Amino acid sequence: MVDYSETCFVIMPFGKKKVGDKDVDFDRIYEQVFVPAISGVALPEGGMLEPRRTDKDFFTGDIGLEMFHYIEYSRFALGDISGLNANVFYELGARHRVRESGTAIFRQAGAPIPFDIQSIKAFPYEYEPETQAKESRALISRVLTESLVQNRVDSPISIALSVQQRKGGDIEGRLQEAENAIRNVDFERAITLFREASSLDSANPLIRMRLGILLKDRGRWRDALEQFDAAARQPTYAEAWREKGPKTSWHGRACRPGRNHLDLRHPVKTRCAAHFSSIRLTSTAMLRLAAC
């Protein structure tokens, strides 16, 4: 029975693989570098960390299933990205998704790091000569020991999602405050809050549209057009184009008989806004009529 609370799952290539121009025996590295380094790590609550690799287990069963158990439940995971092995990256990605902490990445000194993960710390190690291997074992033991004690979040996925959630919370809070400000007829406060929310999520066209309509209702046409322009740059958001209207007829133009200022998809015969006093208009229609 595997005690995952004491397990360090080693994610690395098996057998001999190419690393640059060299043929590297990863089984030898596992036995001579990783195993002694991991076995020398004391757990904070007592006991020692135990290295595990699925191909080294002496029990029957589905090796794929065992791998996923190790990925999800192991106290720690050590990944060796030397050789840029596809299986290693797959397993590391799965580990980063299910565990926010308890993962360390190593690579052979001089081995390349893909651009996509250059921001992730990858500790260099060497397996020969023996003097360098000894230093590498000490480094690995130290990294694992300190990581277990500090228990810091090391998953780039968890870090990114956490930032996104905090950012989303900040945006939602400002939007709610802005709507409350509108109810309290504090339009300048609402405009400020919508601008802050937009700065946190500049690609969100809905925030810019809400701000633009508020500015338009306050008679600040140029500021409103700036927001509609920004929203219109989002390729899937056509409403901004309808709010903008023809570039040359945005404001200050007299209403001309027969001119249609409503949504062009649904032509309506009109001469001016007064003819629509009994009709409930959308923001799109109001903007058209406001130009009359």
Q: Give yes or no: residues 17 and 80 share one domain.
A: yes
Q: Give yes or no: residues 68 and 118 share one domain.
A: yes
Q: Give yes or no: residues 222 and 164 share one domain.
A: yes
Q: Give yes or no: residues 13 and 122 share one domain.
A: yes
Residue 106 belongs to a domain with what CATH number? 3.40.50
Got the DSSP string for 137-202?
Answer: HHHHHHHHHHHHHH--B--HHHHHHHHHHHHHHHHHHHHHHHHHHHHTT-HHHHHHHHHHHHHHST
203 burial via Cβ count (<10 Å: 0-12, 13-18, 19+): exposed
Q: How would residue 168 be classed by pLDDT, with cut points 50, 70 and 90?
A: low
Mean pLDDT for all residues in the chain: 79
CB 11, CB 80: distance < 8 Å: yes
Question: Considering its fold, how many domains does the chain have in total?
Answer: 3
Q: Give yes or no: residues 184 and 86 share one domain.
A: no
Q: Which pLDDT belongs to residue 157? A: 82
Domain end residue (candidates: 119, 154, 189):
154
Got the DSSP string for 87-112?
Answer: HHHHHHHHHHHH-SB-EEEEEETT--
Q: Give yes or no: residues 175 and 253 share one domain.
A: no
Q: Give yes or no: residues 279 and 193 share one domain.
A: no
Nearest-angstrom CA–CA distance, 242 and 250: 11
Nearest-angstrom CA–CA distance, 241 and 268: 18
State the DSSP code for 38: H
Q: Find the mean pLDDT for residues 102-122.
A: 83
Q: Give yes or no: residues 40 and 136 share one domain.
A: yes
Q: Give yes or no: residues 37 and 136 share one domain.
A: yes
Q: What's the pLDDT tens digit per position in 208-261?
A: 888 999 999 889 999 999 888 888 776 554 455 555 554 434 444 433 333 333
Domain with 259 in it: 245-292
- Encoded tokens for 265: 């998809």
Percent of the chain at pLDDT above 70?
A: 73
Q: What's the pLDDT tens digit per position in 8-38?
A: 999 999 999 999 889 999 999 999 999 999 9
Collapsing DSSP states into helix, strand and coil, what is residue 83? Answer: coil
